[in-house]
Chain A
């Protein structure tokens, strides 16, 4: 439920930001702005892309390992309960 609320808030936040951007309207372009807009350095984009992929994969593996460990602990606890009761 908390996750769904978080996603809903995120979506609402995005919509509000878009609406705010609309109200601001257009800005007159000058040479300086063009230079700023076109000077996105390719190395940063490439590093961002590769970094994101490896980061996402590592994070995913970490969540799988954590979830597996938690399950194993739960099972150990259940087995302990059975042993305790059967004694």
Chain B
């Protein structure tokens, strides 16, 4: 597998950032009310941000495929959907672990942000199932699902403003203390770089799959001609 210099630079920065972040997080001051468990925040928010980003990238690729017939858009959408499910799972696991200590329970169904995030995860899981088992026409159906899923993202983000919830408000990042900002932004940037690395790796896999399919067709044509 040939790797471009840009890919290697981004990969190095992501690995370096992810190796540094835990040290800064350990050294960061403890939050007064929640104590140690608040440290989940430093990874929980970046993975949530990437879940939303993945949903938007998938929707963008799906829109390009639906309206412009872009095969590359379709490949980007599939790669991003996998990452949305991966990072979404991380959000849905780390959030309840934090909530157990902070709220006294792993899950509260009445919390709109939790419920809409779970719905988002199921939509993108449905996208992947549709792609794998949907048969002919599944790619277009899945693309429509992705657009539907991305529409859920603003609802998740703004839900804490519109409904009564125990989740922190959207302004929580701007209220972080000075010792907390560094580790948070380092983790956010490192995870974002990692997202691009994973997206590129997954796109390469999809490109290889297309090449394999073309080769299979060429071999079959050639054998028929013989």
The finding on whether chains A and B are genuine partners in a shared complex, rather than unrelated, reads yes
- Name A residues whose Cβ lies closer than 8 Å to a Cβ of B: 1, 4, 38, 40, 42-43, 45-46, 48-50, 52-53, 56-57, 60-61, 64, 67-68, 71-72, 74-75, 78-79, 81-82, 85
Report chain A residues within 8 Å CB of B93: 49, 52
Tell me the dominant secondary structure on chain A's binding face: helix
Interface residues of B (CB under 8 A from A): 1, 22, 35-37, 39-40, 43-44, 47, 82, 86, 89-90, 93-94, 97-98, 100-101, 104, 129, 133, 194, 198, 201-202, 204-205, 208-209, 211-212, 215-216, 219, 222-223, 226
**In the complex, what distance in Å separates the CA atom of A52 from the CA atom of B218?**
43
4 additional A-B residue pairs with CB within 8 Å, beyond A45-B98, A57-B194: A42-B36, A52-B93, A56-B86, A61-B201
A residues within 8 A CB of B86? 56-57, 60
Complex contact A71–B208 (CB within 8 A):
yes
Find chain A residues with CB under 8 A from B129 CB.
4
Point out the residues of chain B lying under 8 angstroms from A68, CB to CB.
1, 201, 204-205, 208
Q: How far apart are A39's CB and chain B's nearest CB, in angstroms?
A: 11
Q: Which chain B positions have C-beta within 8 A of A57?
A: 86, 194
Which of B101, B133, B209 is within 8 Å of A71, CB to CB? B209
Contacts of B222 in A (CB 8 A): 82, 85
Per the bound structure, the CA–CA distance linking A49 and B22 in Å amounts to 13
In the bound complex, what is the Cα–Cα distance between A21 and B211 (angstroms)?
A: 52
CB of A42 within 8 A of CB of B101, answer: yes
Establish whether residues B22 and A64, one from each chain, have CB atoms under 8 Å apart when the complex forms.
no
With a cutoff of 8 Å between Cβ atoms, the chain B residues found around residue A49 in the complex are 40, 43-44, 93-94, 97-98
Complex Cα–Cα for A61 and B199 (A)? 11
Asked, given contacts A42-B35, A78-B215, whether A85 binds B1 with beta carbons under 8 Å apart, the answer is no
Q: Which residues of B contact A40 (CB under 8 A)?
A: 100-101
